[in-house]
Chain A
């Protein structure tokens, strides 16, 4: 097992900067996720760790040894691909055994390991089958097995769950977590699904256009997003952004649609206008007149324990939470209750958190 350190790593494709100066460390045994929209360079990072893609500049270290010049074979990494990339001409057992075979391990050890990994992932009954005879979830498990069988230094996963249906995805998520807890192998995971990233990882790095926007534990990223991009990307449904006018700087007083808010910030805004971000789950709509803030329901979306409501508040469109018992309908008049301390404030210019 190893930690992975990026030191000023960047990557260009034909003079186009795909990764711009990456500086971070994935700790030994950590479950670390790169999350971002497609094209943000997250898979490129994974390929650079694996040695499938050379870095244009900078250094990648495993523990304290630079690995830039090492082939994938020498780096001792294992990778799970989005399409599973099983070898179609080999049985499940042969697929699992392949990495050990390439390491020239003795035959009886390989057989024992195949049996062990098959038991770990519930593949015992499938060992003789070919990949084409397996379901998506089974293929996924074979791909995982092929990766864990040789106890690699680093475990890389490139959107491994995105080809599974929603239910299986949730199941496999739990399985991945269990596997990580058992094996404690440094894992770097890549996904565009923020919920997956939040649920699985000990730390996540949010990427946009090849730059890390924020790198922290999931709850930290959720509670204190570093800029507007992260705030909008993490959390579902995504955060509401509204223009706000600064009425007082110390303590901060904001006015939105004629209503005054007192959010907590670390530094004062420089200009008189800021962007306020409020998560839908932090605004509660109700037909009861508990607050003076009045809005008009546009659309509702029932989601079991809560109902999400799109509504118009003055000239702002918001998405908010309501209790399902309210039975809101389009056109209803509702009253909004804000949790004041949960308002995020970003400056207008750079979109950075205040």
Chain B
């Protein structure tokens, strides 16, 4: 009896530990201002949507969400497009020194962002990209490419060579093999990578803070950081904004989770 209950209890504990901060934020976001600092963070007596209204009326939050969506979306598309081509080549085509290339690619992401942010800023300024979407899209793509190349190379490698050879014999050019056979089979990997790249770009703060200066390109994390005024920290607004920001991610994870599981169970070469 004890054993039967122990496992669910542990699961519940872990789940609570993980979702705790999110739940706290959610509760805070619907609290009227006077109740904000009350501890413990129990449910409010008079729930209010005023914070949600406030972030869209007192701040240009819609534009900021658009900025984030475009930047994260474009980064994901670019990183996957370039990443999957590179990964396919490294995994299945006759390429020499693949491990050397992979190591070199990885070295790109080894520099701490804080060390590269100043030189990158100079480059961005020189290119006239400051405070544009492109400043962030290019930077994020650069930093997420190594990751996506590594993950996708492993996914393409896990597809048996014979399937690729069969598609060649069946009359595919390498590009046709890629789109008609390899890509559909690597779908679980593609989705996983897409999700992680999207989350990275959606949440990134340092580069976004440095390269943007107005709502023309400012992304959500930066915009939230700009909420506090001189004399007050609007915790309610921050909480509401945070909830707005993470909801698409949560939806994405749930949506892709199904695809990932479907992909993984789609069947391999042999039974």
Report A's interface with B, CB cutoff 8 A. 47, 50, 52, 71-73, 77-79, 81-89, 98-99, 102-103, 130-134, 136, 146, 156, 163
B185 on the A face (CB < 8 A): yes
State whether A52 touches B168 (Cβ < 8 A): yes
B231 on the A face (CB < 8 A): no
The interface bits of chain B over 167-188 (1 if a CB of A lies within 8 angstroms of the residue's CB, else 0) are 1111111001000010011000
A83 and B270 in contact, given A89-B185, A102-B176 (Cβ under 8 angstroms): yes
B40 on the A face (CB < 8 A): no
State whether A132 touches B160 (Cβ < 8 A): no
State whether B162 touches A85 (Cβ < 8 A): yes
Partner of A82 from B162, B169, B271 at Cβ < 8 Å? B162
Kindly state the separation between the CA atoms of A229 and B160 in the bound complex, as whole angstroms. Answer: 34
State whether B271 touches A85 (Cβ < 8 A): no
Partner of A83 from B160, B167, B171, B185 at Cβ < 8 Å? B160
State whether A72 touches B185 (Cβ < 8 A): no
Q: Which residues of the other chain, B, contact A72 by a CB distance below 8 angstroms?
A: 168-169, 171
Report B's interface with A, CB cutoff 8 A. 160, 162-163, 165-173, 176, 181, 184-185, 266-271
Q: Which residues of the other chain, B, contact A130 by a CB distance below 8 angstroms?
A: 266-267
Kindly state the separation between the CA atoms of A102 and B180 in the bound complex, as whole angstroms. Answer: 10
Q: Which residues of the other chain, B, contact A86 by a CB distance below 8 angstroms?
A: 166, 269
Q: Which residues of the other chain, A, contact B171 by a CB distance below 8 angstroms?
A: 72-73, 99, 102-103
Q: Which residue of B lies closest to A77 (CB)?
A: B169
Q: How far is the CB of A329 from chain B (nearest CB, A)?
A: 43
State whether A132 touches B168 (Cβ < 8 A): no
Q: Which residues of the other chain, B, contact A73 by a CB distance below 8 angstroms?
A: 168, 171-173
Partner of B267 from A71, A102, A131, A163 at Cβ < 8 Å? A131
A/B interface sample: 18 pairs, CB < 8 A: A73-B172, A73-B173, A79-B169, A82-B162, A83-B269, A84-B270, A85-B269, A86-B269, A87-B181, A88-B266, A88-B268, A89-B266, A102-B171, A132-B266, A132-B267, A134-B271, A136-B271, A156-B169
Kindly state the separation between the CA atoms of A72 and B168 in the bound complex, as whole angstroms. Answer: 6
A84 and B269 in contact, given A79-B169, A89-B184 (Cβ under 8 angstroms): yes
Q: Which residues of the other chain, A, contact B160 by a CB distance below 8 angstroms?
A: 83, 85
State whether A52 touches B169 (Cβ < 8 A): yes
A163 and B270 in contact, given A83-B160, A83-B162 (Cβ under 8 angstroms): yes
Q: Which residues of the other chain, A, contact B162 by a CB distance below 8 angstroms?
A: 81-83, 85
Partner of B165 from A78, A85, A132 at Cβ < 8 Å? A85
A85 and B266 in contact, given A102-B171, A132-B271 (Cβ under 8 angstroms): no
10 new A-B pairs (CB below 8 Å) besides A82-B162, A85-B160, A86-B269?
Answer: A50-B169, A72-B171, A73-B173, A78-B170, A79-B165, A79-B169, A81-B162, A88-B266, A102-B170, A102-B172
Q: Which residues of the other chain, B, contact A156 by a CB distance below 8 angstroms?
A: 169
Kindly state the separation between the CA atoms of A79 and B170 in the bound complex, as whole angstroms. Answer: 8
State whether B270 touches A88 (Cβ < 8 A): no
Q: How far is the CB of B74 from chain A (nearest CB, A)?
A: 28
Kindly state the separation between the CA atoms of A133 and B268 in the bound complex, as whole angstroms. Answer: 11
Kindly state the separation between the CA atoms of A73 and B160 in the bound complex, as whole angstroms. Answer: 20
Kindly state the separation between the CA atoms of A77 and B269 in the bound complex, as whole angstroms. Answer: 22
Q: Which residues of the other chain, A, contact B165 by a CB distance below 8 angstroms?
A: 47, 50, 52, 79, 81, 85
Q: Which residues of the other chain, A, contact B267 by a CB distance below 8 angstroms?
A: 88, 130-133
Q: Which residue of B lies closest to A98 (CB)?
A: B170
Q: Which residue of A lies closest to B166 (CB)?
A: A85
Kindly state the separation between the CA atoms of A98 and B184 in the bound complex, as whole angstroms. Answer: 14
Partner of B166 from A81, A133, A134, A163 at Cβ < 8 Å? A81
Partner of A85 from B163, B172, B184 at Cβ < 8 Å? B163
Q: Which residue of A lies closest to B94 (CB)?
A: A54
Q: Which residues of the other chain, A, contact B167 by a CB distance below 8 angstroms?
A: 87, 98
Kindly state the separation between the CA atoms of A130 and B266 in the bound complex, as whole angstroms. Answer: 9
Q: Which residues of the other chain, B, contact A52 by a CB distance below 8 angstroms?
A: 165, 168-169
Q: How far is the CB of A262 from chain B (nearest CB, A)?
A: 53
Kindly state the separation between the CA atoms of A71 and B185 in the bound complex, as whole angstroms. Answer: 24
Q: How far is the CB of B184 from chain A (nearest CB, A)?
A: 5
Kindly state the separation between the CA atoms of A134 and B271 in the bound complex, as whole angstroms. Answer: 8
Q: Which residues of the other chain, A, contact B172 by a CB distance below 8 angstroms?
A: 73, 102
Q: Which residue of B lies closest to A86 (CB)?
A: B269
A78 and B185 in contact, given A83-B162, A85-B269 (Cβ under 8 angstroms): no
State whether B181 touches A78 (Cβ < 8 A): no
State whether A99 touches B266 (Cβ < 8 A): no
Q: Which residue of A lies closest to B181 (CB)?
A: A87
Q: Which 10 A-B pairs have the closest CB atoms?
A: A132-B267, A102-B171, A85-B166, A85-B162, A99-B170, A88-B267, A79-B169, A81-B162, A89-B184, A73-B171
Q: Which residue of B lies closest to A156 (CB)?
A: B169
Q: Which residues of the other chain, B, contact A77 by a CB distance below 8 angstroms?
A: 169
Q: Which residues of the other chain, B, contact A47 by a CB distance below 8 angstroms?
A: 165
Q: Which residue of B lies closest to A54 (CB)?
A: B94
Kindly state the separation between the CA atoms of A325 and B197 in the bound complex, as whole angstroms. Answer: 75
Kindly state the separation between the CA atoms of A203 and B170 in the bound complex, as whole angstroms. Answer: 27
Q: Which residues of the other chain, B, contact A82 by a CB distance below 8 angstroms?
A: 162
Q: Which residues of the other chain, A, contact B269 by a CB distance below 8 angstroms?
A: 83-86, 88, 131
Kindly state the separation between the CA atoms of A103 and B267 in the bound complex, as whole angstroms. Answer: 27
Q: Which residue of A lies closest to B183 (CB)?
A: A89
State whether A79 touches B184 (Cβ < 8 A): no
State whether A78 touches B169 (Cβ < 8 A): yes
Kindly state the separation between the CA atoms of A131 and B270 in the bound complex, as whole angstroms. Answer: 9
**Of listed A73, A103, A163, residue having the most chain B CB within 10 A:** A73
Q: Which residues of the other chain, B, contact A81 by a CB distance below 8 angstroms?
A: 162, 165-166
Q: Which residue of A lies closest to B161 (CB)?
A: A85
State whether B266 touches A87 (Cβ < 8 A): no
Kindly state the separation between the CA atoms of A130 and B271 in the bound complex, as whole angstroms. Answer: 12
